[in-house]
Structure 1
Amino acid sequence: MFFTYLRRELRRRRKAALVVASGLALGIALVIVVSSVSTGMSRAQDKVLESLYGLGTDMAVTKAAAAPGSGSGRPKFEFDAKGDDDATQSSDRVMVQGFQTLASSTVSRIGGQKGVAGAVGGLGLNVMKVDGQFKRGEFKQDEGAGQGGRSGPGGQGGTGQPQGEVMGGGASFDVNSYTVYGTDVAEQGIGPLTSSKITDGRTFKTSETDAKVAVVDSAYAKEKKLGVGKSVTVHGTTFTIVGVSTADSGDAAANLYVPLKQAQTLAGSKDKITTVYVKAADSQQIDQVKATIQKNVPGTTVTTSADLADTVSGSLSTASDLAAGVGKWLSIVVLAAAFLVAGLLTSSAVSRRVREFGTLKALGWKSGRVTRQVVGEALVNGLLGGVLGIGIGLAGAYAVTAISPTLTAQLGGAGGGMGGGRFLGGQGGPGRAAASKTLDIALTAPVSFSVILIAVALAVAGGLIAGGFGGWRASRLRPADALRRVE
């Protein structure tokens, strides 16, 4: 009887049911689109940040560089004056990049803190290499020397010195600056190298902790015409290239990756690191782990991905703020309006059915049964609105993904970097300072199953709210009063 009457009333009042369902559908569709776009923004931002600190890394621990003293930080190059005049001269300097060094024991110390699932150390280096040659100039004597009494014996002036000038000569040098990153090959699941994929050759083996092997970034390899099997010399040490890596997005962490021990040897920094990459056991407790490390390992700076997110600007940041702020409140306002309109329309429909409900009560229907009937109709309207809203929302999210609007993300060079990609933090050494970098990110709008569940819950809630309005109105009707009113 309940479902028979429900079906009949919905068919009889199709237009009113469609209006209520459409209002709820609009609000639910907006929630789905805004939620999916927000998820897309978050993924886009994560993609940008992964190029800075690497996959699997929740935070990085560094120690700010000391204030530079007089003449500090300036590399000095010395060239041998012996040998042929035109002999090629070459000299390079390896400098620790950006931060003060930490003891390697800091890794195990941080790894033992509560909430830390893993920790690994790394050493960032900047190499400056100068190549070139000096050319001796040629002395050219004045043609008029020794004439007119203006020169002494032998064609010399009154001072007894040859008269003339040096022609040609000088120096031509090329300065090449690149970055080298020492990675712990025994723990390759955390750190900046994880944000790149091997596109040629292989990555490091766990047994190559002190081997003279290297992985080169694809952009640098193309620039210097390097490849798998070729060799590269860093400060007198020759490394064999075993792999070529390509950054997933943004700049690679370094031009060249070598085992950590080899990097320490190159820099003369035995058992030293610049960065500790940390993975939290629970991503929801990153802030707590950060506070614990800062408390128990004094003198260090802990930077999380949330801290780095504040350095991302451009249209990605603006759109993310709009989706998180304006989109959120717009969804709430539209939903509230849709629920209110649905409730008012249902209540209005009840008022037009006063005579009908009065008749039903006179025939023996209890107030609770009338209320359930009204709530049932409103709930069906809500579910219908939910189906329409999910369909419209999925179509909107698909349209965003199909169009894939391009957003720009500008990575500022200032403010506590993770010490990974581009060695951010404003402490970049010569040749690779932490200058701002602009990336283009394609926006997608993925719809998760949880968003669908939220949409269904909203549809049910809308129906119940609308039914609550109408049911309350219907329950107050008295049969005698209702029969006296004309529809």
Structure 2
Amino acid sequence: MFFTYLRRELRRRRKAALVVASGLALGIALVIVVSSVSSGMNKAQDKVLQSLYGLGTDMTVTKAAAAQTGDNQRPNFTFDAKDGDSDEKQSTDRVMVQGFQTLASSTVAKVAEQKGVADTVGGLNLQVMKVDGQFTRGQFKQDPGSQGQKGQGGGGTGQPQGRVQGGGADFQVNSYSVYGTDVTKQNLGPLTTSKITEGRTFKASETNAKVVVADASYAKEKKLALGDNVTIHGTKFKVIGVSTADSGDSAANLYIPLKRAQTVAGMKDKVTTVYVKATDSQQIDAVKSTITENISGTTVTTSADLAETVSGSLSTASSLASNVGTWLSIAVLVAAFLVAGLLTSSAVSRRVREFGTLKALGWKSGRVTRQVVGEAVVNGLIGGVLGIAVGLAGAYAVTAISPTLSASLGSTGGAGGSGGGTGPGGPARQAASKTLDIALTAPVDATTIALAVGLAVAGGLIAGAFGGWRASRLRPADALRRVE
């Protein structure tokens, strides 16, 4: 009887039911779109942070570089003087650590001993600047008729007259980043944000081997292939693999074993960054405090610290989605619930004769209330289905369009010295000058769908509560007063 009456009444009042369902659908659709866009923002920000951190890394430990002034900031290059007419090419390079001071390798073990630390690994971030080219001797061009003769009346000097043409210096500067990775622990650090697309990665036995993994973009630019040799500060390394960064931005141009990087840079038993994985992701702040307190002179940076430095359109869009979008969704939902409740209550008022007659026939107030609530819940579920359909369509449209957002990475306390670190994996790898373009998506997960269903049921119950309260107050005598 309940479902028969319910089906008949909904069919008879299709327009009113559609109005209530449409209002709820609008609010639910907006919630789905805002939730999915917010989720896309979080994923986009994760991509930005992954370009600085290795997968599984919760924080980094560095030491800010001391401030430098004057010529100490600039690398010096010295070239040999050539005798005679030699135009031989000359080349020199410098291996530098920018943005950070080095830490003793023993710091990695000290950090590992701190409470709450699950795993650590050290890395050496290097920047290589190479200058090569040649000096060209100019050619003396004698002016026609300028040869003077000694002792003649013209008072000539005996020296040909003319000028030097051509010559000069033609040098090119090539700067690239090198990351020294601990090949015995490759589950932490910047290299884990890339996938090996050609060749192989390092073996655990290659702690001091002259082998290199090149970033795909850098390999394409320099036309490097597997088996080729790359010279870093006078040492030849064999290319064994090519990696492609997951986020589209690599942590370094070249990766070499940590021990070999220390040798090349002349920094024995030194690292620039310690990558830390916490035992509990909920205790990262506590672990950060412990490391800062027990290991003086270091800067501990978490992903939350880095997230605060992300600016650009990604940050602006994220703020809009989390603030304006959230409040707008709440406002629309509240309005939809109120409208649904008022429309249901109004519909009950128009059914006074019907409900009064039913009560006169023996229906209890509770049965009338359940009938009204049942109709409202069905309207809510219909609105939920419509809202989910519209919301999924909106999320799909955002993903299909994939608007590009820019993210600028500001410097943090880990960057100092000459404008911030440029090596991979540090808290401010390229300071504020580093900008990434991220394609926005709007993924919809099961939690969002469950939230939509819950809102649909809640909207129906709220509307039913309005109407049920009004229906429970009707008396059979009310129906008689409406009889004409």
* TM-score, normalised relative to structure 1: 0.88
Deviates more, 1:45-54 or 1:141-150: 141-150
Aligned equivalent of 1:130: 131
Whole-angstrom distance in 1 between the partners of 2:414 and 2:26: 43
Answer whether contact 2:251 2:424 (CA < 8 A) is retained: yes
Answer whether contact 2:50 2:193 (CA < 8 A) is retained: yes
Aligned equivalent of 1:378: 376
Q: In the TM superposition, what are the counterparts of 1:2-21 in structure 2 within 5 Å?
A: 2-21=2-21
| DSSP-derived class of the 1:473 partner | helix
Give the aligned residue type for 1:347.
S
Aligned equivalent of 1:159: none
Answer whether contact 2:60 2:275 (CA < 8 A) is retained: yes
- Cα 1:420–1:249 shift into 2, 3 Å: farther
Give the aligned residue type for 1:103.
A
**Which segments of 5 or more consecutive residues in structure 1 lack a partner in the other structure?**
157-161
Deviates more, 1:92-101 or 1:72-81: 72-81
Aligned equivalent of 1:475: 472
Whole-angstrom distance in 2 between the partners of 1:398 and 1:315: 21
Give the aligned residue type for 1:40.
G
Q: RMSD over aligned Cα, in angstroms?
A: 2.8
Q: In the TM superposition, what are the counterparts of 1:249-268 in structure 2 within 5 Å?
A: 249-268=247-266
Whole-angstrom distance in 2 between the partners of 1:434 and 1:148: 72
Match of 1:459 among 444, 456, 459: 456
Match of 1:183 among 173, 177, 181: 181
Give the aligned residue type for 1:26.
L
- 1:243 is displaced (CA, Å) by 1.0
- 1:416 is displaced (CA, Å) by 4.5
Aligned equivalent of 2:27: 27
| DSSP-derived class of the 2:411 partner | coil
Whole-angstrom distance in 2 between the partners of 1:385 and 1:42: 29
| DSSP-derived class of the 1:279 partner | strand
Whole-angstrom distance in 1 between the partners of 2:10 and 2:448: 28
Whole-angstrom distance in 2 between the partners of 1:28 and 1:164: 87
Deviations 1:127-167 (A, max 9, x none): 12222334556778973263447578xx58xxxxx998766
Find out whether 1:41 has 2:41 as its counterpart: yes
* TM-score, normalised relative to structure 2: 0.89
Whole-angstrom distance in 1 between the partners of 2:175 and 2:3: 79
Answer whether contact 1:104 1:273 (CA < 8 A) is retained: yes
Q: In the TM superposition, what are the counterparts of 1:158-177 in structure 2 within 5 Å?
A: 170-177=168-175
Give the aligned residue type for 1:248.
D
Aligned equivalent of 2:203: 205
Aligned equivalent of 1:341: 339
Aligned equivalent of 1:99: 100
- Cα 1:174–1:13 shift into 2, 3 Å: closer
**Which segments of 5 or more consecutive residues in structure 2 lack a partner in the other structure?**
416-420
Alignment length, in residue pairs?
Answer: 474
Q: In the TM superposition, what are the counterparts of 1:206-355 in structure 2 within 5 Å?
A: 206-355=204-353
- 1:223 is displaced (CA, Å) by 2.5
Whole-angstrom distance in 2 between the partners of 1:229 and 1:317: 43
Whole-angstrom distance in 1 between the partners of 2:51 and 2:368: 62
Answer whether contact 1:312 1:409 (CA < 8 A) is retained: no
| DSSP-derived class of the 1:144 partner | coil
Whole-angstrom distance in 1 between the partners of 2:454 and 2:439: 31
Answer whether contact 2:27 2:387 (CA < 8 A) is retained: yes
Aligned equivalent of 1:76: 76
Give the aligned residue type for 1:446.
P
Answer whether contact 1:55 1:194 (CA < 8 A) is retained: yes
Find out whether 1:146 has 2:144 as its counterpart: no
Deviates more, 1:42-51 or 1:280-289: 280-289
Aligned equivalent of 2:57: 57
| DSSP-derived class of the 1:52 partner | coil
Give the aligned residue type for 2:406.
A
